[in-house]
Structure 1
Amino acid sequence: MPLPLYLLALAVFAMGTSEFMLAGLLPDITSGLDVSVGTTGVLTSAFAIGMIVGAPLVAALARNWPRRSSLLGFILAFAAAHAVGASTTSFPVLFATRVVAALANAGFLAVALTAAATLVSPDKKGRALAVLLSGTTAATIAGVPGGSVLGALLGWRATFWAVAALCLPAALGILKGIPAGRVKEQATDGPALRAELAQLARPRLILVMLLGALVNAATFASFTFLAPVVTGTAKLSELWVSVALVLFGIGSFVGVIVAGRLSDHNPGPVIAVGGPLLLIGWPALAVLADEPVVLLALVFVQGALSFALGSTLITRVLYEAAGAPTMAGSYATAALNVGAAVGPLIAATTLSTGAGNLGPLWSSGFLIAIALLIAFPLRTVIAAGRTTEVLQ
């Protein structure tokens, strides 16, 4: 894999740390800004909503922008948003900074996903995506737990400042390692924007985007509210939240690496095995969450399965959107973040029910069940190898 791809992964690490870090900072922000846990959880959805709106919008605007300048501008804007967030005492202002950061992240990721696919041969998109997403999984392994520890020791604001600082070396890497060309050498050489947007009418593309969104919704529904499960249901200390996040991150890294080897030519086994196991795993985690050892083991397993299945489906999005070379990355980003927005919102509604802290885990199982019900009749279509034909 080319060096620029790893530099993009470094920037994704910084952004992934921010996107996931609220799972470990939830109690601190809640008490620091005097809001409810459910209200604080909405910050995750705010970030995701910004990415949903921003991904296609910014990708369309950036079709003719120089690639390096676009990526550099996005990551600097991301850093600035975190500096403001770290300084505010107002929840609405913090909410707004999450939206701004999400817009910058969306633009970056949409361009980066498209750029990553052009840095490798056409039959290695899955492996390129695995390298790029390794930045996200590294964030769950090191960045997010590190942020959780930093937040526990110095307060949640210190974690926001750390993310802003982490963007600077990533920006330098982009400046030095990414060619200054456009996302596509010339937008006029490829399909017009209208033709790329028309790809969204393809049933096969819509199907894999929907399934990717549902799987990611299940992931974020539980991940966002994992800290209360660890400290409340399992009755572990706050520092064990970091341990749980590390285990989830290691699992997600394993899942992405395995899926990256299979998703280009043989995605069927990942989908056929990962889906049913996820359906079993989330309710099992809810039932056994009061057993610390079992809880931590299942957190690892669910991280691996969630990212293996999710990254495989997002790779399918890139293949099915091959007719939209400058917009495909934004479609994948939007699918991921529709799930990231909806999942925590659904999970938050369960916190006030009898399920309490375990409600998000049950909601994750429900979301996976919906995905499997949709996917089962069309399993041969979803599990097909690389293809660009239209589903009739």
Structure 2
Amino acid sequence: MSADLSDLKKTPLFNLHEELGGKMVPFAGYAMPVQYPLGVMKEHLHCRAEAGLFDVSHMGQVVISGEDADYLLEKLVPGNIVDLKPGRIRYTQFTNDMGGILDDLMVTKRENDLFLVVNAACKAQDVAHLLHHLPMDLELVELSDRALIALQGPKAAAVLARFVPAVSEMPFMSYLEDEIDGVPCYISRCGYTGEDGFEISLPEAEAERLSRLLLAEDEVEAIGLGARDSLRLESGLCLYGHDIDETTTPVEGNLLWSIGKRRREQGGYPGDVIVRTQLADGPTRLRVGIQPEGRAPAREGTEILDRNDDVIGTVTSGGFGPTLGGPLAMGYVATEFSKTGTEIFLSVRGKKLPARVAEMPFVEQRYYRAAK
């Protein structure tokens, strides 16, 4: 039985989700499918083995255009946007004056503008943030008439290449504009499952027809939010509002890889002094992977203890990893406990359960890498 959806926004694929038997739940103000009749476990494993289709139309899509748009956006994020080549994508974060993360986002540099994809729960505040900080002569357009779908999995490229042959040669984190069955689409080779795959921005009026077209391919199944969460958790990827938020910096969030050398040295974004201090001295806490030793999962909010029962951190995401074959979690611990293999304990329902700090990703990421 689906939850009461009367006060929720609906994506252009809402009717298709219901037709496919999706169990609809509230998520970021939208009615979204948490699973289909296949079930979360099988959906997860199907995406790891073949290809899954996700509705991510609740995400925000924004275009910024005008002179020096890349330079001006770079003043709001620690990522290197200026040196990004046209047709390439970069993951970065909006930061506040304390270095905390207001949202994380994908930035694509196109020939004449920047294309941003931001989180659903943050898109209104992100647009307001951009309008407040960017000069008036830049144009900002929210693409509210476009849907967004993600085709993810080891067979995603083979499936999409039947409609758009050029995608076979796209590098990871690159962008292409092409047609799928006559419909102009923005195609990005990226995703949030740890698998190869694509995110496809398309006119909302064509979203259901093209989704049906892809679902008709033998390798493709519809995948809900439940499996999307377990896939990203196995891949060690942050969920905004849980693993990163306004109180966590990119350094604490273990996102140093997203800040290039020039940006580390020069700064020039909100909170850069705090971030650079943490880069120099180390943070007091760090996001780590956590591997419980038993079978009991540790959910968000679980306290992390040391051997003496002192609280040293908190779990921010946790559950069962179908590919891993056991429970897994991530969370923040005091830095002295952050080394891989460190013994820690989880306070689960009044019991002190053993665990250890684990390398992330828990399951190997299989993003596309072109043969050398």
Is TM more than 0.5 here?
Answer: no
Give the TM-score normalised by the residue count of structure 2.
0.25
Give the TM-score normalised by the residue count of structure 1.
0.24
Structure showing greater Rg:
2
Higher helix share: 1
Higher strand share: 2
